[in-house]
């Protein structure tokens, strides 16, 4: 069954690669559920999101579910982002390894905002009514090793997005593979995230740019078009530049093919001392705003079986405000 999943994953990857390479412009505003594209986890974002080939804890479900196979025992992960315009986004995941059966995880991503006042053409200063945003996903992930070097993972998830009276619910899947060559920590990985059917918001609306809808008497509401989810194909490699008992330096590179933008490239580095203290840096190329990111973390072993990880990252967002991310991981 897992080998069949790998074959399907490979075929979908090739088809998606060919389709995105055919695009000669940035097809922005053609996908919904944009909150699924916001990077979660301070380790990942501190390295410029170049983590497809190195993710290895419960947070793997947000980047490459195949990395979940490296969880030993039980693992908890929590991430929180401050985002422009008073938006907050976070993620939670819990993973458990069940021997040779594999590793299972449950996860969620959520986006919340403060209440926003409704404005119209007739009441540009506000109508006195308010609305909020309700966006989230709920996922179930399974990952295991096929060989001693190759792991695969798959996530099935519910995606919900709602604005005022307009919303939809749909399903999506994430697929991932991770190959550990054993040579200087060289890893090669691929993942496809948010692959699912087109969706359509419920309800109807008045199109104020169309006289037939707005100026008609009576006004003629329109229904929403169908939109795709933000599918991302990721290919990543990583390698140790330094690997001693005390010092380790990892370099990582990701190539990202989104279905709603141009191809992007991420480069990241992580330095660790005694596998306890971490410094990170990264850069995202071909992005609309910003690119540079920095981060730090600490990994504390508390007894024989309890491990606590805390991470922080900073990202430059250009004309937007800088982004601060925090994450916490517990292994036991």
**Total-model pTM:** 0.87
Q: What is the rounded CA–CA span in Å between residue 12 and residue 93?
A: 26
**Which carries the bigger pLDDT value, residue 60 or residue 214?**
60
Please tell me the class of the 2-331 domain: mainly beta
User: Is there a cis peptide before residue 76, judged by omega within 30 degrees of 0?
Assistant: no
pLDDT at 190: 96
pLDDT at 195: 95
Burial class (CB within 10 angstroms; exposed 0-12, middle 13-18, buried 19+) of 265: middle
**Which carries the bigger pLDDT value, residue 18 or residue 66?**
66
Out of 20-24, 218-222, 232-236, the most confident range is 232-236
How much is the average pLDDT of 33-41?
Answer: 92
**Which carries the bigger pLDDT value, residue 215 or residue 306?**
306
**Which carries the bigger pLDDT value, residue 262 or residue 102?**
102
pLDDT at 2: 47
**Which carries the bigger pLDDT value, residue 206 or residue 200?**
200
Give the lowest-confidence range in 47-61, 171-185, 314-328.
Answer: 314-328
- Contacts (Cβ under 8 Å, ≥6 apart) of 189: 52, 53, 64, 66, 67, 176, 177, 178, 179, 234, 235, 236, 237
pLDDT at 30: 81
> Would you kindly state where each structural domain of the chain is located, as residue ranges?
2-331
Coil/strand/helix, residue 269: strand
Q: For the segment 104-132, what is each residue's pLDDT rounded down to a tens digit?
A: 999 999 998 878 888 877 788 888 888 87
Instruction: Reply yes or no on whether the pLDDT at 47 is more than 60.
Output: yes
């Amino acid at each position: 069954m897992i080998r069949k999943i790998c074959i399907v994953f490979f075929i979908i990857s090739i088809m998606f690669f060919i389709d995105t390479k055919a695009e000669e412009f940035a097809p922005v505003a053609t996908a919904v559920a944009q909150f699924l594209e916001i990077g979660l986890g301070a380790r990942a974002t501190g390295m410029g999101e170049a983590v497809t080939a190195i993710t290895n804890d419960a947070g793997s479900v947000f980047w490459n579910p195949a990395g979940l196979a490296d969880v030993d025992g039980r693992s908890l992960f929590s991430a929180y982002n401050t985002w422009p315009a008073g938006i907050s986004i976070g993620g939670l995941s819990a993973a458990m390894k069940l021997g040779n059966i594999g590793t299972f995880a449950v996860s969620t991503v959520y986006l919340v905002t403060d209440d926003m006042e409704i404005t119209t053409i007739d009441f540009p200063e506000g109508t006195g009514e308010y609305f909020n945003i309700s966006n989230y996903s709920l996922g179930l992930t399974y990952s295991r090793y096929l060989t001693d070097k190759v792991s695969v993972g798959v996530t099935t998830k519910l995606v919900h997005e709602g604005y005022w009276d307009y919303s939809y619910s749909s399903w999506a899947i994430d697929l991932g593979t991770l190959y550990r060559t054993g040579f200087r920590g060289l890893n090669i990985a691929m993942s496809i995230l948010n692959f699912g059917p087109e969706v359509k918001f419920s309800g109807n609306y008045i199109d104020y740019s169309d006289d037939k809808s707005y100026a008609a008497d009576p006004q003629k509401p329109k229904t929403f078009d169908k939109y795709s989810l933000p599918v991302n194909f990721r290919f990543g490699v990583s390698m140790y530049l330094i690997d001693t008992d005390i010092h380790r330096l990892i370099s990582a590179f990701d190539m990202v093919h989104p279905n709603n933008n141009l191809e992007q490239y991420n480069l990241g580095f992580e330095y660790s001392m005694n596998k306890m203290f971490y410094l990170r840096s990264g850069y995202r190329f071909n992005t609309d705003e910003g690119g540079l990111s920095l981060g730090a973390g600490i990994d504390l072993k508390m007894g024989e079986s309890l491990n606590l990880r805390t991470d922080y990252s900073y990202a430059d967002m250009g004309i937007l405000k800088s982004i601060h991310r925090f994450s916490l991981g517990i292994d036991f």
